[in-house]
Amino acid sequence: MVFDIAFFVLAVIIVGAALAVVILKDVFRAALSLVMLFFTIAGIYITLHADFLAVVQVLVYVGAISILIIVAIMLTHDARQGSTSGKLRIPAIIVGLLLLGMLVFTVVTTKWQLNNTPPLEPTTAAIGMKLFGEGGFLLPVEISAILLLAAVLGAIVLIREK
């Protein structure tokens, strides 16, 4: 019951923050709204009993990624003026609303697979077993390791002096 109320409060904040990210002219304020968005999503994870994900969300998104975005804004002069409104604003709104309508319709009308067992807590050990244990997602974890290597190589190449 508490979680139900919390969910709707968080949902309203999330939608508001997301809209602010898109609408606000000032890039720095948009970035701060994004931080707000990341933070409230962590709240949603808590209402879903996903404690580990909530902590990771705060550590990675609120902690690391938002700092990265803000530093990037500080270092780029042009970005501070904010984005100009393009000619495609109206079509983009229409397409966005259409997509929203379709997705809402999908979510509301579908009979989703529901599980009646109470959620697992704490989830950390279970996630670890799923990632590295028998019958789990070991391969995708290893592939992401190579992916990080490729990203590091890319960073080296792209920041070189001309």
Partner 1 sequence: MILKELQLLTPELSLLVFALLVIMLDLFIKQKKVLVVVSIAGILVSAGFTLSLWGIHATDILYAMLSVDQYALLFKLIFLVAAGLVILASQDYISKFAQFQSEYYALVLISALGMMLMAAAQDLIAVYVSLELSSISLYVLASFLKDQKSTEAGLKYLLLGAVSSAVLLYGMALVFGLTGHTCMPCIADSLKGMPISNIMQSPALLMGLILIVAGFGFKIASVPFQMWVPDVYEGAPTPVTAYLSVASKAAGFAVILRVLFVVFGATAWLSQDWGLLIAVLSAITMMVGNVVALSQSNIKRMFGYSSIAQAGYLMVGLAAVGMAAGSDALGRSGLLFFLMSYTFTNLGAFIAIIAISNKLNSDQIEDYTGMSKRAPLLAIALTLCLVSLTGLPPTAGLIAKIYIFNGAVNHGLLWLVIIAVINSVISAFYYFRIVKVMWMGAPASEEKVPSTWALRVALSLCCLFVLLLGVLPAGFMGIAQAAVKIFTGS
Judged by the rule CB under 8 A, the positions of this chain that interact with partner 1 are 102-103, 105-107, 109-110, 112-113, 134-140, 143-144, 146-147, 149-151, 153-154, 156-158, 160, 162
Shortest spacing between CB 10 and partner 1, in angstroms: 20
d(CA 145, CA 143): 5
Count of C-beta atoms within a 10 Å radius of residue 85: 8
Shortest spacing between CB 8 and partner 1, in angstroms: 21
Comparing CB distances to partner 1, the nearer of 23 and 139 is: 139
Q: Where are the alpha helices (DSSP H) in 27-75?
A: 27-47, 51-56, 66-75
Comparing CB distances to partner 1, the nearer of 1 and 139 is: 139
Shortest spacing between CB 107 and partner 1, in angstroms: 8
d(CA 60, CA 56): 6
HSE, side-chain direction, 13 A CA sphere, residue 33: 18
Shortest spacing between CB 113 and partner 1, in angstroms: 5
d(CA 31, CA 20): 9
30 close to 46: Cβ distance less than 8 angstroms: no
Comparing CB distances to partner 1, the nearer of 83 and 144 is: 144
Comparing CB distances to partner 1, the nearer of 5 and 147 is: 147
